[in-house]
Amino acid sequence: MACQASASLQGAAEVNGSTAVAPAAAVRRFPDGFYWGVATSAYQIEGAWDEDGKGESIWDRFAHTPGKIENEDTGDVANDHYHRYAEDVAIMKSISANAYRFSIAWPRIFPDGSGQPNPKGISFYSRLVDELLAAGIEPFATLYHWDLPQALHDRYGGWQSKETVHSFADYAGYVAARLGDRVGHFFTINEFRSFVEGGYSGFDIQVGGGKTLHLGAPPELRLPPAQLNQVRHHAVLAHGLAVQAIRAGGRAGTKVGFAENMAAAVPVIGTPEYVQAAETATRELNAAFLTVMLEGRYTDAYLAEAGGDAPRFTDEELKAVGSPVDFAGINVYRPNIYVAPSDEPPGYRAIPISASHPKMASAWHVFDPEVMYWAPRQVTSLWGPRPIFITENGCAGADEVSEDGNIYDSDRVMFLRACLSQLQRATSEGIPVRGYFHWSSQDNFEWLSGFGDRFGLIYVDFKTLERTPKLSAQWFREAARRNAVV
Ligand code: PNW
């Protein structure tokens, strides 16, 4: 009986009149050439915060301010990846990752934000890229993962000023000209929503049961609506100008796009009316970021709602914002809202997330693997088919080291299996997802939570900096090797 039950679970097939069990890997495969990647960011893993001529970033300043980060943790040393990158690349190879998404610290390249570049900064990333290529791992570089040069904040108020926008485009072009011979994919900016809302609006997010959670970030401003909308506009403009600068600076065929944590509206029920309502909601929820980058214009509803506080922009700027991208990168962690149809404008109704809705370990992490299906599907149905990368997905866990020295992160294995099953559902329906990057390769500095929230496939002992693969790393390796959900 037990045997039969498991056979039916794996998908029994009639072969020559007898019932044979199809190998699971043959059942839920990803398209050929799929990237199985892992992701990190500079401030979260590099350490070496003031080495080799690096300038100070707003995260250095913030973490050095008492009371800002859990346990007074800082990224001063973090994973010491700056010195241990070769070991880290070898570990990635050992778990069969064939792609690595890392970010470049702008203040390593331009310590002052603009002006004189620091050759030792670019040299680090150049060595990292060579190491990756030698290991058969494709490098994917993000240019901005929130570590703005402090100098640009001090001089211009950071993203409140167009000076910062132009400095970013210059920096992007500079990096593309030096790494573009070996790096084939660039992401301009990571999570517009997080750093703009967290840094300039004081961001409160819905976490179920009517509760909200505050996710702050430097420079911890709470701007009035008109100024806030202007910062949002500057962020997407910086992306657009960087796309152009990377195209001009990189080699022919360099691919460029963004990595945005799109707000995803999930239909409560999968009928056409609900699916349509959820698409309408997703388009409007992302009006200031994803939607304007892919449509080259702000939605009527967004401009009407903003009224006199709408951002100020020229036609030329909007054209830059909508610069064609080679792919859409989306970070997918959680459903932002559930949606039902409505006859009233805007054509959908947000269904509240229940207080008892399952969560992963981070307070904000509402768990629903279906978002991994709906998010890429909506990107395709709303804005047309173009390559999609899942630039981040993952979860924090308790990750205790057991007596035998292993880390049995059964929750992360469940999360991976569930999310990748839904992603495979999307690819099997022809949604053009080309790769998946797990957040994160290894435990690292989780912003306000310091080293408390562990997201890695690899466990890091932050006293010794020893790295140990978790159970989830084994799961990832087997899936990557078979190019299938296992
Ligand atoms: C992302 N949410 O942030 C960032 O890109 C990473 O640097 C970070 O370490 C990782 O996810 C895990 O937190 C997010 O509230 C922050 O849904 C908040 C949310 C999602 C992602």
Over residues 11-48, the pLDDT tens digits come to: 344 444 456 776 655 579 999 999 999 999 999 999 99
Per the CB < 8 A criterion, the answer to whether 147 and 131 are in contact is no
Minimum CA distance residue for ligand 1 atom 14: 194
Residue with tokens 């570049």: 117
| pLDDT for 326 beyond 70 | yes
| pLDDT for 298 beyond 50 | yes
Q: Is 261 in the pocket of ligand 1 (CB under 6 A)?
A: yes
Distance 26 CA to ligand 1 centre (A): 33
**Atom number of ligand 1 nearest to Cα 447:** 9
Q: How confident is the model at residue 206 (pLDDT cuts 50, 70, 90)?
A: confident
**Atom number of ligand 1 nearest to Cα 444:** 9
| pLDDT for 246 beyond 50 | yes
Q: How confident is the model at residue 342 (pLDDT cuts 50, 70, 90)?
A: very high
Distance 316 CA to ligand 1 centre (A): 32
CA distance 458 to 474: 10
Q: Is 444 in the pocket of ligand 1 (CB under 6 A)?
A: no
**What integer is the mean pLDDT of 160-183?**
98
Q: How many CB atoms lie within 10 A of CB 442?
A: 25
Burial annotation 263-299 (CB, 10 A radius, 16+ → b, else e): bbbbbeeeeeebbbbbbbbbbbbbbbbbbbbbbeebb
Q: Is 336 in the pocket of ligand 1 (CB under 6 A)?
A: no
Token pair of 387, please? Answer: 């390559």
Residue with tokens 């020893």: 466
Dihedral of alpha carbons 14, 16, 17, 18, sign: negative
Minimum CA distance residue for ligand 1 atom 9: 446
| pLDDT for 236 beyond 90 | yes
| pLDDT for 230 beyond 60 | yes
Instruction: Give the pLDDT confidence of 102-161 residue by residue, as tens digits.
Output: 999 999 999 999 999 999 999 999 999 999 999 999 999 999 999 999 999 999 999 999
Instruction: Give the pLDDT confidence of 395-454 residue by residue, as tens digits.
Output: 999 999 999 999 999 999 999 999 999 999 999 999 999 999 999 999 999 999 999 999
Residue 478 a catalytic site member: no
Distance 306 CA to ligand 1 centre (A): 27
Of 59, 188, 190, 194, best ligand 1 pocket probe by most atoms within 8 Å of the beta carbon: 194
Q: Is 455 in the pocket of ligand 1 (CB under 6 A)?
A: yes
Residue 217 phi/psi, 5° resolution?
Answer: -160, 160
Q: How many CB atoms lie within 10 A of CB 318?
A: 18
Residue with tokens 């962690």: 333
Percent of the chain scored above 70 by pLDDT? 95
CA nearest neighbour of 103 among 43, 63, 56, 57 = 43
**Atom number of ligand 1 nearest to Cα 365:** 17
Residue 273 a catalytic site member: no
Residue with tokens 């292993």: 406
Pick 17 or 215 by higher pLDDT: 215
pLDDT at res. 23: 65
What pairing do the DSSP bridges indicate for beta strands 204-208 and 211-214? antiparallel
Instruction: Give the pLDDT confidence of 50-103 residue by residue, as tens digits.
Output: 999 999 999 999 999 999 999 999 999 999 999 999 999 999 999 999 999 999
| pLDDT for 4 beyond 70 | no
10 Å CB burial of residue 110 (0-12, 13-18, 19+) is buried
Q: Can the peptide bond before residue 167 be classed as cis, meaning omega within 30 degrees of 0?
A: no
CA distance 150 to 146: 11
CA distance 145 to 362: 20
| pLDDT for 9 beyond 90 | no
| pLDDT for 209 beyond 50 | yes
